[in-house]
Amino acid sequence: MTSVALDRSSNSTRWRNWGRNQSVVPQTIARPSSVAEVQEIVRRAARSGQTVKAVGAGHSFTDIAVAPGVQLQLDGLAGLTAVDRATGEASFGGGTRLYEISALLDGYGLAMPNLGDIDRQSISGAISTGTHGSGARLGGIATQVAAMTLVIGDGSLLRVSERENSELLPAVALGLGALGIIVEVTLRCVPSFVLQADERSASLDELLETIGERAALADHLDAYWFPHTSAALVKTNMRLPAGSAPEPLHPVRRFVDDELMSNQVFRAVCALGHVAPGLVPQINRLSNAAVAKRTYSDWSHRVFVASRTVRFVEQEYSVPAEALPEVVRHIRAFIVRRDLQISFPVELRFAAADDLMLSTAHGRLSGYVAVHRYFRDDHREYFAGVEDICRAVGGRPHWGKLHTQTAESLRWLYPRFDDFVGVRNALDPERTFTNPYLDRVLGA
């Protein structure tokens, strides 16, 4: 293990998140390489009244991963620890990244049933914030958790599974990093599968009229509306039967669409929009016109995941699925009313209802609406307006994406909020794992 006490005035040890909107100089950075070392760090910190926070890939936009005390980097606890081909259950060290999981599962003919837009996150970070992809019949990544081992507030190990301490699973599978340090996660995986991808443009009005039916028919539906235009890009992914051979995009086409246009040209477009916001509507119309229809098939993780190198900040709300079209219409009117110039598309997705205590899809089929701004642009007016619109229909904010809610307002959105706080009181009574974000959203 390496453990370094830091000079807090030093900028060289300053940790920054991916969106460059959160940063901290932790008192200590520790890189344990065994579970016993994690236990020792937690015990020592608890004795001295320090807080401990694990950080994953730093891809959250909120300050949820900010560690002012001991920052734990768990890359030394990564990799496959067990796999059972018969049940499809596979276990990974808590620091394993999602792209490593896809590669490791591949060797056993297994895959994760659903993924979000990218795969740079750690598995623990992804489940702890409720990271999700799209699919009205599928839950977020935390719903794939079959078991977990955590180091809790007194430094002891807690095993939670369908057989041991099962009543805790709905809390720890999506625990905001508040319940302990996750050292191992077991996921329910599925046999590797090929996805048929269909990407085409649609009129926004027509999309909003039909989005519920489209989502019900598709395995995964992901839509992007370009503000200042009347058009959207609709991505519909369907699972192909076992044994189907993939017919992937030509590598040159893939590079041009997914790297050149989506990252390099888009970066230039965002930089231009930043200095000349008046050009944004025109740029969006051009971007939308450049969207070409494409169909292809590929192994699931290659279809789900994109490379995102243009930095942005994001807010995302889950709303009851049936409210999604109205929410988007209100956002469109708000952008016009305030004369905002928004270069990033608004993303729409779905998730099935689940029973995790703090899942944004708890107890309801959910529609997701995500808004983004280039990291150099001021996001405040746009995000505040969208937040008001979503809150009016009982919207729940993504735990890793910007929002202004507090324990007082969140308690009414989650029927099991107080049960979660009860689990926190039992597993971390001294608040060893807290930080200012958790104090805000869960109470001190």
Residues that bind ligand FAD (CB under 6 A): 18-19, 53-60, 64-65, 74, 94, 116-118, 121-122, 124-126, 128-129, 131-132, 176-177, 181-182, 308, 398, 400
DSSP per residue, 309-332: -S-EEEEEEEEEGGGHHHHHHHHH
Q: What angle do CA 252, 234, 245 make, to 5 degrees?
A: 50
Amino acid at 220: H
Q: Least distance from C-beta 122 to ligand FAD, angstroms?
A: 4
Residue 442, phi then psi, degrees to nearest 5: -115, -15
Which residue lies nearer to ligand FAD by CB, 18 or 225? 18
Nearest C-alpha neighbor of 317 from the set 337, 333, 331 = 331
Inter-residue contact 186 to 161 (CB < 8 Å):
yes
Inter-residue contact 13 to 2 (CB < 8 Å):
no
Inter-residue contact 170 to 356 (CB < 8 Å):
yes
Which residue lies nearer to ligand FAD by CB, 127 or 342? 127
Q: What angle do CA 350, 353, 357 make, to 5 degrees?
A: 120
Q: Least distance from C-beta 93 to ligand FAD, angstroms?
A: 9
Which residue lies nearer to ligand FAD by CB, 205 or 259? 259
Which residue lies nearer to ligand FAD by CB, 126 or 207? 126
Q: Least distance from C-beta 53 to ligand FAD, angstroms?
A: 5
Which residue lies nearer to ligand FAD by CB, 15 or 193? 15
Residue with tokens 């807010």: 315
Q: Go through 326-335 and write b for each residue having 16 or more CB atoms within 10 A of its CB, e for each that does not.
A: ebbebbbebb
Quote the strand ranges of 59-107, DSSP E. 70-73, 80-84, 89-93
Which residue lies nearer to ligand FAD by CB, 33 or 210? 33
Q: Least distance from C-beta 121 to ligand FAD, angstroms?
A: 3
Q: Least distance from C-beta 205 to ligand FAD, angstroms?
A: 26
Structure tokens that stand for 27 in this block: 């008192």
Which residue lies nearer to ligand FAD by CB, 21 or 201? 21
